[in-house]
Amino acid sequence: MTRRCHNCGRENPDDSLFCNWCGKRLDLQSPRPAVEARACPHCGAANPMHVTFCQHCAKDFAQSPATARPSPTVAPVRKCGWCGAIVGPTDVICRACGRDPSGAPVMPAAPRQPSNGPAIAAVLFVGAAILDFVSGARALTADGYLPEFGVDLTGMLQVCGALCILFGLFALVAAALSYLRTGLTLAIVAGALGMVGGGPFGLGALFALVGLVFVIRNRDVFTS
């Protein structure tokens, strides 16, 4: 059996003389009509109907326990932009690295590797020049007399040989400009003239043509 306190409405043991909650004497209390009692949503004690604050815990009746104690929000995890360590939501200095956690390291751009295209073009132009020199030397030393036709082509061969040597010199100029990576227009013109020399079996022209391709593909590395 229990005894209800008519002052606060709490249950007490049957042998209690005083309320264990509000301290009022139980045998001297007179019951109150149920319509005059208003239970506190916070402590459960009975209060008069006209009050807005509990007489026992002094809390507002209009504020329920759920709204009186809002659930704490979980802050998102914040990490340092430099070392990745977890920092507090209000920290301005990372405890791990001592830097501003909101900053992020700026990674330096990787250095651009120099292109080997101009050097390859220079080697090809040198090869074309050598082949042009070989063709020119052969033309200069060849005997142009054709006894079966009675025609002497020695002079023509000498002119062709001189031109091949001249075109070989242009190929050397293109090789030098390509190696130094300067004078793009002049390197292209000299390489084209070096291609005219031909060389044995047209190999000189092929070398010069490939060299021109390397020069044009790497024209951005040439200086004016």
Contact 158, 141 (CB under 8 A): no
Instruction: Evaluate if pTM is beyond 0.85.
Output: no
Question: Nearest CA to 211 among 125, 150, 126?
Answer: 125
Distance, CA of 143 to CA of 149 (rounded, Å): 14
Distance, CA of 166 to CA of 161 (rounded, Å): 9
pLDDT tens sequence across 162-219: 999 999 999 999 999 999 999 999 999 999 999 888 888 889 999 999 999 999 999 8
Contact 123, 116 (CB under 8 A): no
Q: How many CB atoms lie within 10 A of CB 180?
A: 13
pLDDT tens sequence across 28-86: 655 554 445 778 888 877 777 777 788 778 788 777 665 555 555 666 778 887 788 88
Name residues whose C-beta falls within 8 Å of residue 178's C-beta, 6 or more positions apart in sequence. Answer: 118, 119, 121, 122, 125, 187, 191, 211, 214, 215
Question: 117 — phi, psi (to 5°)?
Answer: -60, -50
32 DSSP 8-state letter: P
Q: How confident is the model at residue 25 (pLDDT cuts 50, 70, 90)?
A: confident
Tell me how far CA of residue 141 lies from CA of 129, 133, 161, 200, in angstroms.
18, 12, 9, 15
Distance, CA of 171 to CA of 199 (rounded, Å): 12
What does the block give as tokens for 22?
């509000």
Residue ranges per structural domain of the chain:
1-66, 117-221
User: What does 121-137 look like in DSSP terms, one character per residue?
Assistant: HHHHHHHHHHHHHHHHH
